[in-house]
Amino acid sequence: MKKIAVIGLGYVGLTQALVFSKSIAVSGFDNDEKKILALEKQQYLTLESRNWVHKVGKENLNFSVKHVDSLLETSFDIYFICLPTDYLAETKKMNVTSIEKVVKSIVSVYPTASIVIKSTVPVGFTKSLSEKYPQANICIIPEFLREGTAILDFERPDRIVIGGDLEKWYPLEQLYLSVIQKKNVPILYMSEEEAEAVKLFSNAYLAMRVAFFNELDEFSQQKNLRCNKIIQGISHDKRIGDYYNTPSFGFGGYCLPKDTRALVSLIDKQTSKLIPAIIASNEQRAINIALKILETKPSVIGVYRLTMKKASDNFRESPSIKIINCIKSISPKQEIQIFEPLLDTDLFNGMKVVQSFQSFQQTSEIIVANYYDEDLKEVVGKTFTRDRFLEELICEEEKI
C-alpha cells in the first residue's frame, strides 16, 4: 500500500489524515477552500490537531480542494469517505447524497477502487453501494471518536469494527495496526449492516446514559438529595461503572443527537419505545434547566461557554445554546450575556458577548455553566450547574 485519499476533512477525516500520515502518504480532499488554505499552512482547525501538528511528517501529507478532477487525476490504494451525513428533519433520514456522488465519481474512473465508508450512514446503505458497483471493494469502518480527544481515541481504540469481507480487507487491518499505539485491540469483522448498527446503537446507548443520569439528577433535586452521593453509590456496581455518569444540561454535539434521531427513523416505533424516549428526555431536560434558572428571577443571566462540552470547539447542538433558546421562549425579555473566547464578535443571536471574564462575572447575577472549569472557582457562589464536580465545590463553599 503506497497512498490513500481522505475525502472530507472534518473531525473524522482530519484525524484519519493526520494519524495515517505517520506511516503512509495521505492526500486530503475537501470542498472548503478556506479550510484547505489553512491546512496547507498547518493551521489545523481543531484544538487537538493544532497540538499534534509537530508529530506529522509534512512530506507524507498534502491537501487539495475536492473538485472531481483533482480527486480523480490519480488513483489511490484506498479512498476513505469522511463526509457529513446530516439528519434532515423534513425527510427524517440522514443525507447521504454527497457520499453517493463521490463514490459514483470514483468508480466511474476506477471501477475496482477500494472504498472505505467512515461516515455514519443508515443500516443497509453500504451494502446498497456494493450491489450498485459490484466491481468495487466497498466496506464500512465506523468511528468512535470523542470531540476533544479524537486523535487519542484513534491511536488507542477500544475496538476496530470492519463491515466487510476479511479476505478483501486484511491489508486495511494491517494499515490500522501500523499506526495505533494500543496492543491487542480487538478487530471485529461483520456484515456491513451489522457494522452500521454498531455505530448507531453505540451512540444511542451513550445518549441514554446521559439522559439517565440527568433524570437521576432531576429526581435528586425534587427530593432534596445529594446527586453526587447517589451516583457514587450506584457506580461502584461493576455492571454500571464509574464513567460517563456526570449530569449535564443534556447531550449535544454532532453525533449523539443526529445518530439517535436516525435510529428512531429505522426502528419499529410500535415495538421499540426506549430510543424515542431518550430524545424526549433530552428535550425535557433543557426545559427543566431553563425553568430552574428563571426561578431565581435574575436580572442578568451570564452563560459561561457555548461549546458543546469541555475541550471542544464545536457549538453544534450545544446544550448551553438549547438552554438559552428555552429561556428566551419562556421569557423573551430576559437579559442574557455570554462569555465565549471562541466568539470574535460583540453579539450572538442578539445577545451581548462579553470578552473579559472579570467583567462577565461582575455583571452576571447568575452564571450558567454546563461543565466544570477552573475559572468558575472564583464564582461558585453564583454559578448554576449540574456538573457534579462543580456542585461539590459549591457545597463545600456553602459549608464555609
Q: Cα angle vertex 32, ends 58, 110, to 5°?
A: 75
End-to-end CA gap in the chain: 64
Adjacent-strand bridge partners of 139: 116
Adjacent-strand bridge partners of 301: 336, 366
**Upper half-sphere CA count for residue 320 (Cβ side, 13 Å):** 26
Catalytic status, residue 255: yes
- Among residues 82, 255, 326, 395, the one annotated as catalytic is 255
Q: Which of 92, 170, 172, 163 is nearest to 128 (CA)?
A: 163
Beta carbons of 55 and 61 less than 8 angstroms apart: no
Q: Which distant-in-sequence residues (6+ apart) come within 8 Å of 198 by Cβ?
A: 142, 161, 190
Beta carbons of 200 and 120 less than 8 angstroms apart: yes
DSSP structural state of residue 4: E
Adjacent-strand bridge partners of 128: none
Question: How far is the C-alpha of 290 from the C-alpha of 297, rounded, in Å?
Answer: 11
The letter for the amino acid at 27 is S
Beta carbons of 249 and 320 less than 8 angstroms apart: yes
Q: What are phi and psi of 137, to 5 degrees?
A: -100, 110
**Upper half-sphere CA count for residue 70 (Cβ side, 13 Å):** 14
Beta carbons of 291 and 274 less than 8 angstroms apart: no
DSSP H helices in 224-273: 227-235, 255-266
Three cell numbers written together for 332: 423573551
Chain-centroid distance, C-alpha 194? 21
Query: Reduced to 3 states, what is the DSSP secondary structure of residue 212?
Result: helix
Q: Which distant-in-sequence residues (6+ apart) come within 8 Å of 236 by Cβ?
A: 242
Beta carbons of 157 and 144 less than 8 angstroms apart: yes
User: What are the residue numbers of the active site?
Assistant: 255
